[in-house]
C-alpha cells in the first residue's frame, strides 16, 4: 500500500536481526508475528522505541511486534524485505482435515475460479460477435469476424494451459512446469499426428492414443494431479545442486509419456462420456438442472456447494459448445433473489437501507449481500426467491435454453445466450427471468404479509436467535445535537472493561475502547447492523462497520491466530451485510483452552476518536444480544 510505512518496516526487519534471522513472518489484526532463528539477535528496546510500534510480546515461540490497526500496511512493506524466507500475508495454515465432499469442492473451486475472468471476457467477445452478425454489421466470412473469433477462442483452445497453471498452484507444485506439460498436449505437431490418423508409438513400444486436447478439461486435470506427486518425489530425492536441471527434465519425460499414453486418453474418454451424459440430459430431461439450480442455488451458496457445481458449465461447454447445466438456472435464481430484496425494500421501510443496495448488486450477479443481509434473516423473501427460481428454471429447461459462453450471473449476461445463429436462447432466458421474478414478487408480498401477521399474533419473534438491535436504526439524536447508538454483546459471558484484558495490545487501548468478555458460550452474533469489512483468514477476528459509522472489532481469544482457524466456524464472508443479533458463527471454547490459549473475547470500537464517549453498559454477566456499549458523539 502506502510507501510511508517503508522506513518503519526497514527498521523492524533490521532490529529483529535482519532478513537472514527471519524464518517466517506474518501478521494478525494487531501485530507483526515473527518466527526468528535466534531471538537473541533482536533488539527489543530499540523496537519499543520506534515511532509506530507499541511494544514487543513474546509468546508461542513468536516474536510479536504490536503495530495497531494499520498492521497490514506495515506488513506489506515487511513482506517485500523478507518475502524470500517464506513469509506469509496470513498466519500459516496447517492442512485442515476436510470431508471428502469439502475436499473435492475446494479443489474444483481452486482450479476453476482463477480462470473465470478470462472465460468471462472471452464469452463477452463472443456475445459482441453474435450481435454484430445478427444486426448485419459484419459478415461471418470476413477477416474481422475471424480475428474476433481468435480473440475469444484463444482462451478456450488454450484452456488446458490455464487450468494446468491454477491446478498446480492449488496442489502446490510448479505451475510453470504444469503449463509446459499442457503445452505439449496442444503442440501443432501432435495435432498433425491426430489429423493424419497414423499410429504413434513412442520408442516403437509405447502407443500414444490419437486424441485432441484443445479446449479440453478433464485430461489436464488428471495429468497435473499425477504430476504433483511425481514432481514432489523428484524434488525430495534429487540433490539441490542439480535440482534445477534434472527435476524439470525428468518431469517432462515422465509426464509427457504418461500424458499421451495413459492419463490424456483416460481424460479424453471420460470427457466423451460426459458429453454423452450432457447430450442425454439436454434431449430427455433438460428441465432438471435448471429447476434444481434455479430453486436451490441460494442454499448451495450458503453451504459453498456452488463452487463444486458451477464448473460443470465450462466442462459442458468444452464438450458441446454450450452450457445448460449451470448458467440458465443460476441467472434466474439471481434475478429472483434480487427481485425479492427489491420487494422487501418497497414494502418494509425498516429493511430498505440494506435491501435496496443488496438488490441492485444481485441484479448484477453478486447475491451474497442480499442473501445474508435481507433474504436469509427475514426468511420469507428467500422462500419466495427459491420458488420463483425453480419456476423460471423450469421454463428455461423446457425451452432448452443454452448459454454459449461463461460469464457472470447478472443482467449483462443475457448476451451470453446469443448463439447458434439465433436470438431465441436470449429471448427464452429473458422470459424465464421474467417468470421467476414475477412469481417471486407476488410470493414476497403474500408471504411477507403472512409472516407479519404471525409475528403480531405471537407477540414476538419466535426465532431462537437473539433479538436484533440494529445499531444504525437505534442511533438517536439528542436535544443537544449529540448522536448516540448502541452495540450489543456478540457473546454470552462475564464482562470486564477492555483495560483489564490480559493482552497488552488491547488493555493499552491502542486498538480501541470497549469490553473484554470471558465467554461461557461459543455462539457469536453481530454487535451492530452494518457490513463485514474484515474477516481474518483464521476466523478469530471480525470487523463490522455499522450503519452510522462505528467500526467494531470482535477478537475471539488471545493469540488464537496461532490455532489456524481450527476452533472457529464463520457463516458470513467479508462484504456481507449483517443485522445486529444475527448469528455470525461459532467457536469451540474448550478446544481453545485445551490448546493453551485464553478464549477471552474483545469487543472494540476501533475508530474511538470519531466518538466522544464509549461507555460500557452492563456489569457481570451479559447474554449475546444484550446491550453492551453505548456510543455518543
pLDDT (tens digit, 9 = 90+) per residue, 335-370?
Answer: 999 999 999 999 888 788 778 888 888 898 878 678
Would you say the pTM of this structure is higher than 0.85?
A: no
Residue pair 610/485 in contact by the 8 Å Cβ criterion? no
- Please check the confidence at residue 235 and state whether its pLDDT lies above 70: yes
Tell me the per-residue pLDDT of 268-280, one tens digit each, with 9 for 90 and over. Answer: 898 888 878 877 8
Question: Given this model, what pLDDT does residue 144 score?
Answer: 93
Active site includes 27? no
Q: Which of the following is catalytic: 27, 28, 297, 425?
A: 28
- Tens of pLDDT, residue by residue over 297-346, are 888 876 657 766 788 888 888 778 888 888 999 999 999 999 999 999 99
Structure-block grid coordinates of residue 283? 434431449
Cβ 543 vs Cβ 575: under 8 Å? no
Domains of the chain: 3-85 (3.30.1360.60), 158-284 (no CATH), 287-458 (no CATH), 471-632 (2.70.70.10)
Antiparallel, parallel or unpaired: β 483-488 and 627-632: antiparallel
Extract the C-alpha cell encoding 189.
505437431
CA 515 – CA 605 distance, rounded (Å): 9
Residue 438, C-alpha cell as written in the block: 414475477
Q: What is the mean pLDDT of residues 521-531?
A: 91
Average pLDDT (235-248) is: 89
3-state DSSP call for residue 23?
Answer: strand
Q: Catalytic residue among 306, 425, 496, 555, which? A: 555
Q: What is the mean pLDDT of residues 184-198?
A: 93
Locus of grid cell 509427457 = 256
Question: C-alpha grid cell for residue 428?
Answer: 427464452
pLDDT digit string (tens) for 30-45?
Answer: 678 888 888 889 998 8
Judge whether residue 462 has pLDDT over 50.
no
540 is catalytic: no
pLDDT of residue 441: 96
Taking alpha carbons only, the member of 397, 408, 345, 410 closest to residue 373 is 345
Locate 611 and state its grid cell: 466518538
Amino acid at each position: 500500500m502506502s510507501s510511508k510505512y517503508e522506513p518503519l518496516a526497514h527498521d523492524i526487519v533490521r532490529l529483529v536481526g535482519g532478513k537472514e534471522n527471519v524464518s517466517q513472518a506474518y501478521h494478525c489484526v494487531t501485530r507483526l508475528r515473527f518466527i526468528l532463528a535466534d531471538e537473541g539477535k533482536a533488539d527489543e528496546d530499540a523496537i519499543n522505541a520506534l515511532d509506530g510500534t507499541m511494544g514487543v510480546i513474546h509468546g508461542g515461540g513468536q516474536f510479536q511486534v504490536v503495530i495497531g490497526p494499520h498492521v497490514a500496511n506495515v506488513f506489506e512493506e515487511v513482506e517485500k524485505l523478507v518475502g524470500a524466507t517464506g513469509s506469509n500475508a496470513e498466519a500459516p495454515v496447517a492442512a485442515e482435515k476436510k470431508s471428502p465432499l469439502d475436499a473435492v469442492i475446494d479443489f474444483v473451486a481452486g482450479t476453476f475460479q482463477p480462470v473465470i475472468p478470462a472465460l468471462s471476457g472471452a464469452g463477452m467477445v463472443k456475445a459482441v460477435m453474435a450481435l454484430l452478425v445478427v444486426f448485419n454489421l459484419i459478415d461471418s466470412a470476413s477477416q474481422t469476424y475471424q480475428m474476433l473469433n481468435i480473440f475469444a477462442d484463444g482462451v478456450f483452445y488454450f484452456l488446458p494451459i490455464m487450468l494446468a497453471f491454477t491446478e498446480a498452484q492449488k496442489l502446490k507444485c510448479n505451475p510453470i512446469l504444469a503449463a509446459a506439460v499442457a503445452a505439449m498436449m496442444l503442440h501443432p505437431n501432435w495435432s498433425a499426428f491426430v489429423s493424419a490418423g497414423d499410429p504413434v508409438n513412442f520408442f516403437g513400444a509405447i502407443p500414444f492414443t490419437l486424441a485432441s486436447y484443445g479446449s479440453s478439461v478433464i485430461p489436464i486435470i488428471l495429468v497435473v494431479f499425477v504430476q504433483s506427486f511425481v514432481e514432489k518425489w523428484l524434488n525430495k530425492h534429487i540433490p539441490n545442486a542439480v535440482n534445477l536441471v534434472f527435476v524439470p527434465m525428468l518431469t517432462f519425460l515422465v509426464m509427457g509419456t504418461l500424458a499421451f499414453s495413459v492419463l490424456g486418453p483416460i481424460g479424453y474418454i471420460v470427457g466423451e462420456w460426459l458429453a454423452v451424459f450432457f447430450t442425454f440430459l439436454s434431449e430427455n430431461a433438460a428441465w432438471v438442472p435448471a429447476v434444481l439450480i434455479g430453486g436451490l442455488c441460494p442454499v448451495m451458496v450458503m453451504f459453498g456447494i456452488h463452487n463444486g457445481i458451477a464448473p460443470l458449465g465450462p466442462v459442458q461447454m468444452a464438450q458441446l459448445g454450450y452450457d445448460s447445466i449451470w448458467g440458465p438456472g443460476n441467472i434466474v435464481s439471481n434475478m429472483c433473489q434480487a427481485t425479492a430484496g427489491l420487494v422487501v425494500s418497497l414494502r418494509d421501510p425498516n429493511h430498505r437501507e440494506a435491501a435496496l443496495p443488496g438488490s441492485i448488486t444481485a441484479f448484477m450477479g453478486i447475491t451474497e449481500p442480499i442473501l445474508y443481509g435481507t433474504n436469509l434473516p427475514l426468511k420469507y423473501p428467500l422462500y419466495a426467491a427459491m420458488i420463483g427460481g425453480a419456476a423460471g428454471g423450469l421454463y428455461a429447461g423446457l425451452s432448452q435454453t443454452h448459454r454459449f459462453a461463461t460469464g457472470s450471473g447478472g443482467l449483462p449476461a443475457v448476451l451470453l445466450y446469443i448463439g447458434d445463429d439465433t436470438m431465441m436462447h436470449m429471448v427464452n432466458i429473458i422470459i424465464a427471468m421474467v417468470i421467476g421474478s414475477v412469481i417471486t414478487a407476488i410470493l414476497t408480498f403474500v408471504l411477507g404479509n403472512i409472516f407479519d401477521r404471525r409475528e403480531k399474533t405471537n407477540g414476538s419473534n419466535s426465532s431462537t436467535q437473539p433479538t436484533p438491535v440494529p445499531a444504525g436504526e437505534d442511533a438517536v439524536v439528542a436535544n443537544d445535537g449529540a448522536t448516540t447508538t448502541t452495540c450489543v454483546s456478540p457473546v454470552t459471558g462475564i464482562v470486564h472493561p477492555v483495560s483489564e484484558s490480559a493482552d497488552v495490545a488491547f488493555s493499552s487501548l491502542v486498538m480501541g475502547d470497549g469490553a473484554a468478555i470471558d465467554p461461557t458460550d461459543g455462539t457469536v452474533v453481530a454487535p451492530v447492523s452494518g457490513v463485514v469489512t474484515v474477516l481474518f483468514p483464521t476466523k478469530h477476528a471480525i470487523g463490522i462497520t455499522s450503519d452510522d459509522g462505528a467500526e467494531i472489532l470482535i477478537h475471539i481469544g488471545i493469540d488464537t491466530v496461532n490455532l489456524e482457524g481450527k476452533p472457529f466456524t464463520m457463516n458470513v464472508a467479508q462484504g456481507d451485510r449483517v443485522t445486529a443479533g444475527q448469528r455470525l458463527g461459532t467457536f469451540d471454547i474448550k478446544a481453545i483452552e485445551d490448546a493453551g490459549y485464553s478464549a477471552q473475547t474483545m469487543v472494540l470500537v476501533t475508530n474511538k476518536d470519531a466518538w466522544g464517549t464509549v461507555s460500557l453498559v452492563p456489569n457481570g454477566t451479559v447474554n449475546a444480544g444484550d446491550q453492551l456499549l453505548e456510543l455518543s458523539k
